[in-house]
Structure 1
Amino acid sequence: MEKEAIFIDDLAKPQLNEVQRGALEWASTQTVELCPDSIQREAEQKTGLSNWGDPGFRQRLELLCDEWDSDSGLSNLGRISLRNKLLQHSTSRLLIHEQWRLHPEILDIQIERPIIVAGLPRSGTTHLLNLMAADRRLRSLPLWESYEPVPLPGEVATGDANDPRFQRCQQAWEGMQQMTPHLAAMHPMNPEHIHEELELMGPNMGSYNYEWLSHSPRWRDHYYAEDQTYQYEYMRDVLKLLVWQQRDSERARRWVLKCPQHLEQLPVLMRVFPDATVAITHRDPVAVIQSAVTMQAYGQRLNRKEVLMEQLLEYWVERVEHLLQACVRDRACVPEAQSIDVPFQKLIKDDVHWVKRIYDKAELSSTPAALAELQDFSRAHSESYGKVKYDLEGQFGVSPEALRERFGFYFEAFPEVFSPA
């Protein structure tokens, strides 16, 4: 039975439920220090460690704290959420660097021939990643492991649902479903959900992920101005650590990864992962934008004092355009023999077919066992979280047709992707 589409009719003027009101009231009584010293001190107390590695991360931590601390539109609940994220990344940094110090052989591990999905957010990248992750020949990054790559001192890392890190992630997901009940329909965040490797740049205070957490134009400009190679190398080295931690298990060694950020970092991606196979998903940018801004606006009912509908639209239209301009400019830097373009509309009609095509590029055989795993996942996860109905013009005041004209350069660069055939 098909689920009824969800339409969030109070997007601009939220009508909060009892749980949401209670959370905001509790948060208003808390004192929140968005301060690097406070965050680092708490991380040191939590881990018993103090080796932070390369001190360059501190400048980035200071920038984020200063930008978010000076944002008077944030609710106290939003400030708590942002501080918790920086504390999580800081704690992970200490734990990661301790493992690298104790076991320098970790960095000798090779991340070979990964399959990497790139594409706009909300363009099928998540489904494609999770589908390929169902193939047990490939190694993937579940959400719980991306949030806490290394267990806390004294914890037993079982690597399954009994792992304390998994259980913390499960508790957070249950809380998020109570606080923002439509979130699962837009972007599932259950612990076993396969997540983006950009989370592994977080302990180095890196990636465009912070832009999704809060309005962060200063962070965006800093990110634009830097060569991101060092961040990708950091992420690669955390992947090595994850392999090393389960070196005695039968878990696969060949990674399947994905991140929309890769669209604007294709030269860097290929510099750090020169033997990768890259699958780039393509979708009408207007559909992407209406999905992204609706999801962001829905979250702002708790994170901000008022929902910034116009600001959200302006920011993410520009952000999507930047991603696509970079993709058009740099697409040719990924060799044809190592890449494939995946149209969203065709992907959702026959997702397993497109995985087979990706496997052909990656020189990975489509065995009967692998195809069975893919088919099982595809059937089990078809519309499992429901659908959201969007109204870009009614809620954000912009005509989809008028907005689409802005992206003519993208449609012209990939005519075969958007052809009806």
Structure 2
Amino acid sequence: MSAGEITSTFDRAYRPTPIAIANRLGRLFRIGTGPITVDGVLADARGKAGLSDFGDDAFLEPLEILVDSINREAALHPVGRMIIRGRLVGVLVNKLVAQRTIEKHPEILDIPVEAPIVVAGLARTGTTMLHRLIAKDPSIRSLASWEAINPAPPTTRPPRKGKDPRYSQAAMAAKGLKYMSPGFFAIHPAEPDAPEEEVILLEQAFLTTTPEAMMNVPTYAKWLEEQDHVPAYQALRRMMQYLQWQRPGADKRVRWVLKTPHHQEYFDPLLQVFPKATIVHTHRDPLKTSASFFSMVTHLQMIFSDEVDPNRVANHWLDKIENMARRTMATRARVNDQGFVDVSYYDLIKDPMPEVARVYEAAGAALTPEARAAMEASRKVNKQHKYGKHKYSLADFGLTKDDVEPRIAEYRARFNVPYE
């Protein structure tokens, strides 16, 4: 697999030789093959953080369901199990540190979170481009990738000189991703200094679609769709306040830009917690975006498991795409489209700046000359296919247009989305 191109060929997962050897040894000596336990990850997190108070224990039920689903369904290889278990411990360590810091500084919860701009469309519809452009505005706060990897560091004091030490952590994580899946950046770049999706922060409540993107966890995924997600968005707002306290940005009343396709299933709870949000709903032909997204998720799951069925992945996420579209249309009907602004991928590709201006106008924000200049400079650096070209088709997943179109026909008609 080259770093410049990635195709949807899934006959055999790419494994660097050291990873393949580690997996063979792990299976031979039964290292990293046993079940993950909730008590184990809780104990490890407490030991690493030197703290014991997680605050509200509402996260325990979703954590238990997720861990059970991982153990029974995910079929992780030994190295994948080690990585996933480490991620769970890391989330819990951050939860402990954030709880301790907020207890010591209760004024954090008084910090206002101004009406965020929320970029949310089906995956592969230009959300990353638009998110990264808006994040270049000096007056806008976004979640940096280096923050997302460790939002609650042991110390909140700024570094004496140079970049925050978490930057090197994020750079190492990006190198690790490139090492385990060299072409993945052609699908979805994960640069340490770039804006990241806040879906990672929703892990604080363990109510997030991140696990089902990384693994086969259908039991958890089904349970997740049936839950009240207001607590997850309250946890997100709390972490935004905490991050704003760490790094205020332009001023203490800085405005955020958020972005993740996850929100489409949960616009109702998002608007309950952020009633003044401006939601930027991006659109592109789902026949094109679906295959691209199926490929991305399949390649991601293949990093952690040797037993990934691309057809299963596609069918699972096609169900979710239909559910996202259905729930989004229901929310928009309920609020009569108030607070939403529609952006076409095709207009973005042609010239994003008029679309950015429309977003700012809808959000009541000032698009300053300084912000425009920063965005234009970013466009010259962050060009499409910067890391290579991603090739894919529905046929790679045993699907045809006739399998997909009926599932998204109502969405296409509602938003007048053209065929590509």
TM-score (norm 1): 0.91
Task: For residue 10 of structure 2, give the secondary structure of its aligned residue in structure 1.
Answer: coil
The answer as to 2:165 corresponding to 1:171 is no
> Which residue does the alignment assign to 1:58?
60
What is the alpha-carbon distance in structure 1 between the residues aligned to residue 109 and residue 120 of structure 2? Answer: 25
Q: Secondary structure at the match of 1:123?
A: coil
Task: Select between 156-165 and 363-372 the one with higher mean Cα deviation.
Answer: 156-165
Shift of residue 252 of structure 1? 7.0
SS of residue matched to 1:49:
coil
Cα deviation digits, residues 123-164 of structure 1 (max 9, x gap)? 2111211111011110110112122111125x7543996322
Q: Which residue is equivalent to 1:48? A: 50
Q: How does 1:240-319 map to 2 (within 5 A)?
A: 240-247=241-248, 253-319=254-320
Aligned-pair CA distance for 1:409: 1.0
| Alignment partner, residue 391 of structure 2 | 389
What is the one-letter code of the residue matched to 2:7? I
For residues 96 and 27 of structure 1, the distance between their equivalents in structure 2, rounded to whole angstroms, comes to: 34
Contact 1:137 1:252 in 2 (8 A): no
Which shows bigger deviation, 72-81 or 218-227? 72-81
Distance 1:131 1:160, change over 3 A: farther
1:6 aligns with 2:5: yes
Cα distance change on mapping 1:15 and 1:363 into 2, 3 Å: closer
Deviation for aligned residue 1:248 = 8.9
Matched-pair contact (CA < 8 Å) for 2:6–2:184 = no
Contact 1:24 1:302 in 2 (8 A): no
Deviates more, 1:181-190 or 1:201-210: 201-210
Q: Is the 8 A contact 1:351 1:378 kept in 2?
A: no
- How far, CA to CA, are the matches of 2:9 and 2:248 in structure 1? 50
Distance 1:202 1:14, change over 3 A: closer
Task: Note the alpha carbon deviations across 1:229-285, whole angstroms, 9 max, x for none.
Answer: 111011101101111123597587111111212112122111111111111111222
Once residues 184 and 10 of structure 1 are traced to their aligned partners in structure 2, the CA distance between those partners, rounded to angstroms, is: 16
Q: Which residue of 1 aligns with 2:120?
A: 118
1:278–1:338 CA contact under 8 A, matched in 2: yes
Partners in 1 of 2:277 and 2:329 — Cα distance? 19
State the AA in 1 paired with 2:10: L
Counterpart of 1:57, as a letter, is F
- Alpha-carbon distance between aligned partners in 1 of 2:106 and 2:74, rounded to the nearest angstrom: 44
Closer, same or farther: CA 78–408 of 1 in aligned 2, 3 Å: same
Q: Which residue in 2 is equivalent to 1:235? A: 236
- Please say if residues 135 and 374 of structure 1, whose CA atoms lie closer than 8 Å, have aligned partners that are also in contact: yes
1:379 positional shift: 1.8
User: Residue type of the partner of 1:106?
Assistant: I
Describe the shift of the 1:118–1:148 C-alpha distance in structure 2 as closer, same or farther (beyond 3 A).
same
1:338-377 to structure 2, matched below 5 A, reads: 338-377=339-378
Output the CA distance in 2 between the equivalents of 1:180 and 1:6. Answer: 11
What is the aligned length?
Answer: 415
Distance in 2 between residues matched to 1:37 and 1:183, nearest whole Å:
34
Contact 1:282-1:341 at 8 Å conserved across structures: yes
Tell whether the 8 Å contact from 2:4 to 2:387 is kept in structure 1 after alignment.
no
TM-score, with normalisation over the residues of structure 2?
0.92
| Residues 85-96 of structure 1 aligned to structure 2 (within 5 Å) | 85-96=87-98
Quickly say closer, same or farther: Cα 1:7–1:109, change in 2 above 3 A.
closer
Which residue in 2 is equivalent to 1:24? 23
Tell me by how many angstroms 1:111 deviates: 0.5
Alpha-carbon displacement from aligned partner over 1:365-388 (angstroms, at most 9, x marks no partner): 222221111111112111222220
2:45 is aligned with what amino acid? A
Matches within 5 A, 1:99-118: 99-118=101-120
> Residues 274 and 299 of structure 1: is their aligned pair in 2 closer, same or farther, counting only changes over 3 Å?
closer
- Asked whether the equivalents of residues 116 and 278 of structure 1 are also in contact (C-alpha less than 8 Å), the reply is yes
Counterpart secondary structure, 2:141:
coil
The alpha-carbon deviation at position 5 of structure 1 amounts to: 7.1
- Quick check: 2:4–2:186 contact (8 Å CA) kept in 1? no
Say whether the 8 Å CA contact 1:136–1:252 is kept in structure 2. Answer: no
Partner of 1:219: 220
Query: Following the alignment from structure 2 to structure 1, what is the Cα–Cα distance between the partners of residues 142 and 335?
Result: 22
- CA root-mean-square deviation: 2.4
Q: What is the percentage of aligned positions where both structures have the same residue?
A: 30
Deviates more, 1:43-52 or 1:17-26: 17-26
Secondary structure of residue in 1 paired with 2:391: coil
Residue number in structure 2 paired with 1:207: 208
Task: Give the Cα separation in 2 of the matches to 1:141 and 1:375.
Answer: 21
Which amino acid is 2:153 matched to?
A: P
Residue of structure 2 in register with 1:139 after alignment: 141
State the SS of the aligned residue for 1:113.
Answer: coil
Structure 2 Cα separation of the partners of residues 248 and 277 of structure 1? 20
Distance 1:184 1:57 in 2: 32
Counterpart residue number, 2:130: 128
Structure 1 residue 331, shift from structure 2 partner: 1.5
Q: 1:117 touches 1:278 (CA, 8 Å); kept in 2? A: yes
One-letter amino acid matched to 2:109: L
Gap runs ≥5 in structure 2:
none
Tell me how far apart the structure 1 counterparts of residues 161 and 354 of structure 2 sit (CA, whole Å).
30
Q: Structure 1 residue 401: deviation in Å?
A: 4.8
Question: SS in structure 2 opposite 1:71?
Answer: helix
